[in-house]
Amino acid sequence: MRIGGTLRLLQREYGPIDWQIDRDPVSTLMATVLSQNTSDANSKRAFHSLITAFGNWEAVAEASVDEIAQSIKLGGLAEVKAKRIKLILQEIRELQGCLDLSFLRGLPLSEAKSWLRQLLGVGPKTAGCVLLFSLGRPALPVDTHVFRVAKRLGLIDSKVSPEQAHELLESVVPPEDIYSFHVHMVEHGRRICKAQRPRCHPCALQGLCPSYN
């Protein structure tokens, strides 16, 4: 696999990037739920509205589904996401006694993933986002951009499923490079390797890409 060359070219194109811890893990989990089947802009507005309305996750957990849905209606699928948010928060509280996921930092990575994936609707991408962005763990979320670009580059076989891609890519990207690999692959998918009409001519990866032109 051409991971090393891909990493070097992506870093040359988009610049070096430091691993940054974003929100607390519960907030990242909720933000990822809100991001499903909507645009980044709408999901960010819905997240801000939810926090503004309730102030903290304990208050959200105590709120009714209708109250939560009203606060996130800007993000789309409000009823579905409101039910999921409330149930996930309740599950965490029942399992842990509080709404705190910082303990996952101390678990082996596979155990931390398994713990998150027992929660309602939490798949490998959501679990990866929580671990990577909030806990500094080398878990690789494979979103639509990462999946598409990786397939076109031949980093994963065309028959690999999105779920399989998480483990396959994570196993070959050096742990210290997983954060920059994810961020740069997403950026490249948005700017250049688009789903429709990929911009192959200016692509910095064209020398490595079997799908070029």
In the chain, domain spans: 3-18+141-191, 25-135
Task: Give the per-residue pLDDT at 1.
Answer: 55
Supply angle C-alpha 3, 148, 144, rounded to 5. 115
Task: Give the per-residue pLDDT at 160.
Answer: 95
Task: Give the per-residue pLDDT at 37.
Answer: 85
- Asked whether the beta carbons of 58 and 19 are under 8 A apart, the reply is no
- Asked whether the beta carbons of 121 and 89 are under 8 A apart, the reply is no
Task: Give the per-residue pLDDT at 76.
Answer: 84
**Homologous superfamily in CATH for domain 25-135:** Hypothetical protein; domain 2 (1.10.340.30)
pLDDT in tens, the chain (213 residues): 589 999 999 999 999 999 999 899 999 999 999 998 888 899 999 999 999 999 999 999 999 999 999 999 988 889 999 999 999 999 999 999 999 999 999 999 999 999 999 999 999 999 999 999 999 999 999 999 999 999 999 999 989 999 999 999 999 999 999 999 999 999 999 999 999 999 999 999 999 999 886
The Cα–Cα gap between 158 and 4 comes to: 20
Two tokens, residue 18: 């430091």
Q: Is 125 a catalytic residue?
A: yes
Two tokens, residue 183: 């961020």
Nearest-10 Cα torsion for 166, 132, 10, 45: 100
> Annotated catalytic residue: which of 44, 125, 151, 194?
125
Residues across the chain: 213
